[in-house]
Amino acid sequence: MEIDGTQQQSAAPLLVEEATQEFVAICAESEPYDDEQPSYVPAELVKPWCSNDASALYHCYLIQMKPNFCYDIPVNDIVLGMRSELDCDIANMTFDLEVGRGSITVNFKKATEIHLSSEQVLQCRRFQITIFRILLDHELPNLGKVLERLCLAQNLGIESIDYLLLPAARMHQRPSIIDWECVTSVSFQCEENSEYHVDCSPPKNCSRVLHTKNGMVCTCRIQNSLVYTPHTGLLYCITGLLDDLNGNSLLRPRGRRARSYKTHYEEKHGIKLRFDQQLLLKGKHIFKVQNYLKSCRLHAERDSCHTSVELPPELCSIVMSPLSVSNLYSFSFVPSIMHRLESLLLAVNLKRMVLDRCTENVTIPTIKVLEAITTKHCKENLHLESLEALGDSFLKYAASQQLFKTYQNDDEGDLTVKREKIISNDALCKFGCNRKLPGFIRNECFDPKSWIIPGDYSGGSFLNEELPFNERNIYIRGRRKVKSKRVADVVEALIGAFLSTGGEIAAIYFMNWVGIKVDLVHIPYERHFHVQPEKLIDVRHLESLLNNYSFRHPHLLLEALTHRSYMLPQIPGCYERLEFLGDAVLDYVITVYLYNKYPGMSPGVLTDMRSASVNNNCYALSAVKRRLHEHILAPDNVHSNIANTVNNFERLSMESTFGWESETSFSEVLADIIESLAGAIFVDSEYDKNAVFQSIRPLLEPLVSPETMPLNPVKEFHDYCQKMQYIMKKPVKSIQNGVATRTIEVEANGVVKYTYTSTASNNDTAKRLACKEFLRLSKGN
């Protein structure tokens, strides 16, 4: 993303002012926010059941999974059948799942289109409901009731989550993309599987058929099956027969006497094995379904699903056959995959809602929209924090320049009040709610237990809701709590998403769509000076400090250095209006620089780097290092205060101008001057942000980087307390005789663990000192 400094000339400033006044008045209106907000489900996933005599068209996509680690169980492809065609940037998406052994790369690939009869669809739904209920519940008793509801719903035309997730056929099974033999495994009948099959090869010393709870079954049908053992209530994947073990073989449990399997089952379960000469089955426990989208890799599990068990065939009831362990393993990842797809479809719907009536050439990748609506509470490898920081800086800049050019006679205080009515969290939340954004927000960590199995009507019903500005509908799954701050964050993040991919035109388009009426039209800034700036300030020297920027209107430089208490008749204004503008411009250009300079940084790092670079202490230090304080036009009492700051700075002997190392406070005038100079250059250069950055950057060098960025002690204090599960009591603060006092108190298990009081010239410094001392003592212990 480049900073575009071009703006257009306007011939109608009065119309702009009237429109801005009306907009600010609208922003000031306030209504109570209801934090109970809907949770949307994409319409692409919700369809009515097809009638008994109808066939349905399904768009098939191959979900290919490639493990980036070694494991004895392979991963198979899955077929996704959709009633609606996927957007092109979703149909070819790639992402990683984080599992205990490493990562699995998931690729979507458009395969084919197929027509399925209602009977085939019912068969597919039976399969997926069975396999997912088993994987999620690890039990069998409730499965029958779920399948009964499935048959009942077939005749009612109920709208539900409707897509198919089926095992992919291997190459030798083609031309069908679906492994229909596996799909029909849920309809296992022992009568059809008791005969010897030509292609089966029973192990040595094993009969062709085995006695099971279902009756006589061919060995080839039980070697790749899912079985249920009623005496334990557990489910197992059968991977083969143990050619050297039967019911009379010795079981050697650790720390116990050896005994035969036959004796073990009789003593422990009261079961007498009738067919003790049958070979035992080799089984594995069912895989545990987890959230594999979490950014931190799951620890390799040490549970029973990684160990084999020996099972007498006569105690096993076959639930599904044929079903390989690799298919069951592959399906354990599907809930996480489909949650990502559902999230992307939400992002697609939001993108369409925003762009449906767009006449500009605005494009934005779906993944960027998803990033903007995903909070860090989801604990995934993408979330909105970086885009929020970028969008916040642009929002502040766009609103500030709009107000600056519109209200040319307002002072900094009035402009700040008007800006707050536009960019405050309350205002942004209202804008977001008016456009139904809360329903799109992803604000919770994915829980596979809450995932709705497609075709399972126990997931509940869905309400239909019409989206604004287009004819598309979306569905509501239910309601959840979403804080107003979260809605405001998402509005800022969406501004950042449009800005980072489509530039300022795209960001302005989105802001206007959401209700924030701003533009980048240039209106001349009028000021009438009756004095030559060179008589009061050293223009040439100051320009040399500003990377040799040459002012077309040196009066702006004079205004940028004039304190409000020094105003003379021939100087019509002080630096405060330019400071108001320059603060926003400087924040924006530095944020853009950091965002572009370090594109691979994790979410949240941009926020920390921006915070470490864009603050009053940093600017004040920069002003002192370049001795800009010597050029400020101010009365003696102001210079006296500045002199104290300079003396403190010289004792610090700090090399960098960013960060939080300073244990003293600085005169705000020093920081204001950096911002007012930025504002002066911005106006003088006809709103060229690049000119601002190139001129002010030398004052701020060296700029922060991920390697040099110090942690904010206040943020580090909060993170540490959260990690240690400490309770932070409400801080006690006061100001007396110009001295700020701050007391922080931390509790652990109902006992006060730490109390510290610090003093400084202002509250922010006192708070920072208290947090630094707490961290020093904690790390020291």
pLDDT score recorded for residue 739: 81
Placement of tokens 């005969």 in the chain: 195
Q: What CA–CA distance (Å, rounded) separates 344 from 252?
A: 52
* Residue 617 β-bridge partners: none
List, in sequence order, the alpha helices (H) in 685-748: 689-700, 713-724
Write phi, then psi, for 64 (nearest 5 degrees). Answer: -100, 130
Average pLDDT, stretch 388-416?
A: 95
pTM of the model: 0.87
pLDDT, position 189: 60
Tokens found for residue 522: 């240039």
pLDDT per residue as tens digits for the range 224-259: 899 999 999 999 999 989 988 999 999 877 667 788
Task: Show the tokens assigned to 208.
Answer: 């062709």
Residues 327-373 have pLDDT tens digits of: 999 999 999 999 999 999 999 999 999 998 887 788 899 999 999 99
Ordered domains of the chain (ranges, CATH)? 43-189 (no CATH), 209-320 (2.170.260.10), 533-699 (1.10.1520.10), 724-779 (3.30.160)
Mean pLDDT over residues 662-691, rounded? 89
Q: How confident is the model at residue 196 (pLDDT cuts 50, 70, 90)?
A: very low
The pLDDT-based confidence of 12 (bands split at 50, 70, 90) is very low
Q: Is the pLDDT of residue 460 over 80?
A: no
CA distance linking residue 83 with residue 59, whole number of Å: 6
Contacts of 764 (CB under 8 A, 6+ apart): 665
Is the pLDDT assigned to residue 7 strictly greater than 50? no
Sequential DSSP letters for 344-402 = HHHHHHHHHHHHTT--S-----HHHHHHHTB-GGG-BS--THHHHHHHHHHHHHHHHHH
Q: Are 765 and 665 in contact (CB under 8 A)?
A: yes
Residues in the chain: 781
Least confident of 15-29, 298-312, 455-469, 654-668: 15-29
How does the average pLDDT of the chain come out, rounded?
A: 85
Q: Is the pLDDT of residue 648 over 80?
A: no
The dihedral of CA 195, 200, 205, 211: what is its sign?
Answer: negative
- Taking 60 as the threshold, does the pLDDT of residue 760 lie above it? yes
Burial grade of 604 (CB within 10 A; 0-12, 13-18, 19 or more) = middle
Identity of residue 195: E
Confidence band (pLDDT; 50, 70, 90) for 9?
very low
